Amino acid sequence: MARDQVHYFGAGPALLPSEVIEQAASDFVCYKDNGIGLGEISHRSGDATAVINDAKSKIIKLLEIPDTHEVFFGQGGGSGGFAAVVMNLSAAYAARTHKKGKVDYFVTGSWSSKAANEAKRLGLEVNLVLDPKLVPRGGKKFGAIPPKSTWKFSDPKETAYVYYCDNETVDGVEFQTIPDVPEGVELVADMSSNFLSKQIDVSRFGLIFGGAQKNIGIAGVSLYIIKKSLLTSLPPAELIQLGIPVVPTFLDFQEIVKNNSAYNTVSIFAVRVVELNMDYLLAKGGLKVQEAQSDRKAEKLYEAIDKYPQLFKSPVEKDCRSRMNIVFNIVGDGAEEQFVKQASAKGLTGIKGHRSVGGIRISNCKYKSARPIAKL
């Protein structure tokens, strides 16, 4: 099937506008007057630096990022981010206090669970903000965000950061507002899967990060937005003495920023895809428009799910349903398989639930389909 015959609802990697994909493919063969493509030019050439700078400035414009924050591109995807957060922000806390801080994690689904485990693995003392007994729903491990009155934070003075995942792709759980955390504590958000789907107040975050392959671009690059005051550390030997894991240089936020995201060979092609995608979003009216579209698409689906309870079951509480990943079950033996099959015949693909939880998952591309689907 050709591009205009399919609509893909995968959770990530995800669909990108055809205009973006086609321009990127052309740039991969030959970029400007270089006679070579974006996979081949030096990451420190003038044209490569311009791609990085333009992508950054368009992200700043789209998200209205204040001067207090820095944007950069990292490697290792979201999972790389789990480790990079632990090491960089523990070091920043140690630079302020000469202590090893505790870390607080909201665990609301598979991804924040993995992130918390990474912190433990690397030797941090992890406090769970949410009571694990209060998060399961409908026979699934996750599906609820318990009320604020039940949240338990560590002593703010001893806390390196509070971490949460804004949207859980596997479980379909999304924070509807930024969680309130104790004053003076830095808030870290994994927005891998809902970045650019809504307006956000960046000033409230110490760090926002995400793999690019959902809403931002393609795999091979990840996006970081960090409060500049957190770009600080101690010498590695001092960190080791405090029992803080030393960050490898290529994941060191200070080194990456100092080298304009090109400490080592960043994929200029992947950054170019980000840049083109930002052009597309800016031309389509920015995040206000994306937010309205995402909300409307999600509402339509949840409406249908709730209207036919004899057919559909949603395992997620209404107050934390994801606008990005609408997960549900279909009642009846073999009904889900049949649904997937029939949808596929109509060019609607990528709708199977994550292998760990099963069911159906419709992931909203943040884009209005760039081109109409030929036959439905």
CA angle 27, 33, 39 (to 5 degrees): 35
Shortest reach from residue 46's CB to its own copies, in Å: 12
Cβ 172 vs Cβ 321: under 8 Å: yes
The 3-state DSSP class for residue 16 equals coil
Q: In what order do the strands lie in the sheet with 69-74?
A: 69-74, 222-227, 207-211, 187-190, 159-165, 102-105, 126-128
214 is catalytic: yes
DSSP H or E stretch at residue 291:
helix 286-307
Residue choice 19, 39, 137, 317 for contact with its own copies (CB under 8 A): 39
> What is the distance between the alpha carbons of residues 115 and 118, in angstroms, rounded to a whole number?
5
Binding to its own copies (CB under 8 A): which residues in 166-225? 211, 213, 217-221
Shortest reach from residue 142's CB to its own copies, in Å: 20
Q: How many residues contact its own copies, by CB under 8 A? A: 75
Map residues 339-358 to x or -, x wherever contact with its own copies holds by CB under 8 A: --------x-xx----x---
Question: Looking at 27, 111, 198, 279, which residue is catalytic?
Answer: 111
Cβ 327 vs Cβ 321: under 8 Å: no
111 is catalytic: yes
Shortest reach from residue 119's CB to its own copies, in Å: 11
Question: Looking at 140, 214, 227, 352, which residue is catalytic?
Answer: 214
Binding to its own copies (CB under 8 A): which residues in 96-135? 118, 121-123
Question: Candidates 30-38, 164-172, 290-298, 322-330 — which segment interacts with its own copies by CB under 8 A?
Answer: 30-38
> What is the distance between the alpha carbons of residues 290 and 41, in angstroms, rounded to a whole number?
33
Residue choice 176, 203, 229, 249 for contact with its own copies (CB under 8 A): 249
Cβ 243 vs Cβ 86: under 8 Å: no
Residue choice 19, 28, 95, 286 for contact with its own copies (CB under 8 A): 28
151 is catalytic: no
